[in-house]
Structure 1
């Protein structure tokens, strides 16, 4: 209940503020586990992905935010769960896998930190871990800014990756994460190319 109320309120605020345009949301599977992986350019990214996705999304959040009881309860109410940054947090890994096993959607930013330049950076191994250890559909997403009032913010969802070749081989978590970031980068380049052609 809290998630739906929060999603509605945030959507009312952010859609007109950033003139958000959503492309490809039909690529998000309607059922079954989904690992949704996006580039990371702003603190607004989690709520923007949350309001543009057709599925409810579970996100990791900094563990220290959960130390205060009220805030921790609120965050869990909007489907966030704690992770210890800079560490291999086994509890967070287990909770993420459980979310996928239960058929939900887990949202990740494989870079692990915001890009200061807006360019797509290198991935940490976490996204690869979840992709390989679950049966989730892996959906790439790219956010194209800037986050500026009155500007046009684009959120583009690509088709699920073909995971069979990765899961049937001895792909490492880091290589899998790199492959996911490559898909995100290709999605951005494809969109920009198509937009340029339409403008000519």
Structure 2
């Protein structure tokens, strides 16, 4: 209930504040473990991906934030997953795998953080690792444009990558990461043809 309410409020804000087009939201599997993997250039990106997804999304938050009783309880109810950065990447990856195994949908920015260059950076292998361990499908997400009322933002949810099938073909983590990287690059550089249903 809380997640839906907050999502509704944030969606209204985004619609009023920005020009937004959304394409391919039906590409997100309706159930089962899913990783949303997106390029990332703005603090507005995580809520954008969440409010136009057709199911609830989990995300990472620093474990220190959960020490504040009211705020910690709030973000936990909004599906935040605590990550202790002091324990290094392995601890974060294990937390991710356990969460996705429960059938959650988790947002990851595989570039490793915000990227202001305008070009996709080489992806880290964490998303592929989590998908292989949790048997999750990877949905590539491309965020294109600018957060304004003139050019606007186009949010594209791509076709899911069936990691299980790739593993059966003998693909390794590095190869799966390369497939994801190529998919995202193509989505970012390919012009999107919009119809009336895509305009928000």
TM-score category, normalised to shorter length = 0.7 to 0.9
CA contact (8 A) 1:34 1:100 kept: yes
The total of aligned residue pairs comes to: 192
Q: Secondary structure at the match of 1:57?
A: coil
- Distance in structure 2 (CA, Å) of the matches to 1:32 and 1:164: 13
Ranges in structure 2 where 5+ consecutive residues have no aligned partner: 194-200
Map residues 137-148 of structure 1 onto 2, 5 A cutoff.
137-148=137-148
Note if 1:161 corresponds to 2:165.
no
Map residues 10-159 of structure 1 onto 2, 5 A cutoff.
10-85=10-85, 87-90=88-91, 92-159=92-159
- Distance in structure 1 (CA, Å) of the matches to 2:85 and 2:114: 14
TM-score by length of 1: 0.86
Deviation at 1:112, TM superposition (A): 1.5
Deviation string 1:142-168 (CA, Å, 9 cap, x unpaired) is: 001212245421100110114245323
Deviation at 1:19, TM superposition (A): 1.5
Deviation at 1:10, TM superposition (A): 0.2
TM-score by length of 2: 0.86
CA contact (8 A) 2:10 2:51 kept: yes
Q: Secondary structure at the match of 2:124?
A: coil
Q: CA RMSD in A?
A: 2.1
Q: Secondary structure at the match of 2:82?
A: strand
Q: 1:177 to 1:72 in 2, by over 3 A?
A: farther
Deviation string 1:28-82 (CA, Å, 9 cap, x unpaired) is: 1112221111111111111000001111100112333333222221111111112
CA contact (8 A) 1:17 1:150 kept: no
Q: Secondary structure at the match of 2:93?
A: helix
